[in-house]
Amino acid sequence: MNSTDMKNLQRKDVTVELLRVIAILMVIGTHIKLPMNVGDSIGKARVLISCLVGDGVAIFWMILGFFYFRSSYKKHVCRLVSRIVLPLFICSAIGFFFYDFLIGANNSIVDSMSHTAEEYKLLLRSLLKWENGVNGASHFWYLYVYVMVILIFPALKGIREYILNAKYGDIKALIVFFSALVINDIVNNELFEFSHHTFRGALAASIFVLTGDILYRNLNRYNGKKKLSLVAFIILCCAVCGRAYIQYAFLKREPPSQEPLFWFTSYAFASVVSLIVFIYGLSSLWNKSRILSKVLSYLGSRTFYIYLVHMVFVNSTFINPLKLKVLDFFGVGSIGTLGYQIVVTLMMFSLSLITVEFIIQIARIIKKLFCRKLHRKI
């Protein structure tokens, strides 16, 4: 880590970085969790764990809202191209040509790179619909929707100004957002028809982005307040348990459904808002520790890249035997399921972090060599 990195870490809101780390752990946890069905029955512990790790993306949307309106539209678009679109296309290209080889599904790199004309057509069709068309990169939907959210910045800025100018605008907006999500949940998402794609995904994300802005503007109301943090924790526990109960009932339906687990639900909204208030209420615990602050800032700075690469390890045929050993060690009971979830999540996180750090360091070396050659020519 160079001196520039250190200066950047010191300027960061450490609690935001902690939220980023929690969010990426939730995302990984969602992708490695065991099926909620255990044979012919439904595992209650697995349902509860699914609800606990289901809101990583919702946290990311709210974190975006923390800083969304602090930049101009021009700066947003410029950053979008360099920090999101370029990495998205690079990773998509790598995934399209090398994914099967990387996860061990195909031993031949040549076979992995070989694609039929129909596969290229499907990829082009997916891009035209602004959807992911790369095998093993289904989680890239978030980046496609992220682009849409940035592009509708002027519209969201107008809504924000209306909220700011209205009397009790923040409270009214939160009530409207939550009520809209509750009604949409009651009618099984048939009102807004939220999804993980294009404008429907951007509409859902916008609610969380605007909520994130409201929460961060009112940070002084709950930051460092431990009593309020306790209340938020109780609400969080109630929201998670209530969601698990409803999800359990949905799984007993014919056909079974997992709608309560989606990030664009009122359950996610209540859970994430209460989680943010809870975490910020305890912020003094890590803000006082210089070492812990630096660790959290460092980990938080790597979460985006971990998001990009983690599915390679989640789907790797090389890692699967290790996951099975962890499962055999802990067993399939309630405590065993929790143990498996924690160990495998941390394992995927660690492998992804090591890979990301390796790539970053290689990129820095290449950049230095290129700059030296360029300087000599000049």
Range with lowest mean pLDDT among 146-150, 196-200, 322-326: 196-200
What is the pLDDT at residue 139?
92
50 pLDDT more than 80: yes
Q: What angle do CA 284, 209, 93 make, to 5 degrees?
A: 105
What is the C-alpha separation between 307 and 28, in angstroms, rounded? Answer: 8
Q: What average pLDDT does this structure show over 60-75?
A: 94
Whole-number pLDDT of residue 377 = 59
pLDDT of residue 185: 95
pLDDT higher than 70, residue 3: no
Residues 113-133 pLDDT 10s: 888 899 899 999 998 988 888
Confidence of residue 370 (pLDDT cuts 50, 70, 90): confident
- Host domain of residue 150: 3-374
Per-residue pLDDT band at 4 (split at 50, 70, 90): very low
Tokens of 39: 């044979």
Q: What is the DSSP letter of 188?
A: T
Could you count the other beta carbons within 10 Å of the beta carbon of residue 72? 11
The structure tokens listed for 262 are 């989606």
Average pLDDT over residues 46-55: 94
Q: What would the mean pLDDT of 234-242 be, rounded to a whole number? A: 96
Q: Residue 101, CB half-sphere, CA atoms under 13 Å: how many?
A: 12
Average pLDDT over residues 258-266: 92
* Residue 264 in this model has a pLDDT that exceeds 90: yes
Mean pLDDT in residue range 51-63: 96
Q: What's the mean pLDDT in 131-156? A: 93
Confidence of residue 165 (pLDDT cuts 50, 70, 90): very high
Pairwise CA distance, residues 38 & 114, whole Å: 38
- Under the banding of pLDDT at 50, 70 and 90, the label for residue 376 is low
Average pLDDT over residues 90-119: 86
- 11 band by pLDDT with thresholds 50, 70 and 90: low
pTM of the model: 0.92
Q: What is the three-class DSSP state of 41?
A: strand
Q: Quick one: pLDDT at residue 16?
A: 97
Position 38 pLDDT exceeds 90: no
Is the pLDDT confidence value at 10 over 90?
A: no
Task: State the pLDDT confidence band at 101, using cuts at 50, 70 and 90.
Answer: confident
| Higher pLDDT pick, 37 / 279 | 279
Percent of the chain with pLDDT over 70: 95
Q: Is the pLDDT of residue 7 over 70?
A: no
Q: How many CB atoms lie within 10 A of CB 93?
A: 11
Q: What is the mean pLDDT of residues 26-51?
A: 91
pLDDT for 363? 86
* Number of domain units in the chain: 1
User: Which of these ranges, 25-29, 224-228, 269-273, has the smallest mean pLDDT?
Assistant: 224-228
Q: Tens digit of pLDDT for each residue in 290-311?
A: 899 999 999 999 999 999 999 9
Which of helix, strand or coil describes residue 9? helix
Q: How far is CA 281 from CA 25, 213, 231, 267, 287, in A?
A: 21, 18, 10, 21, 12
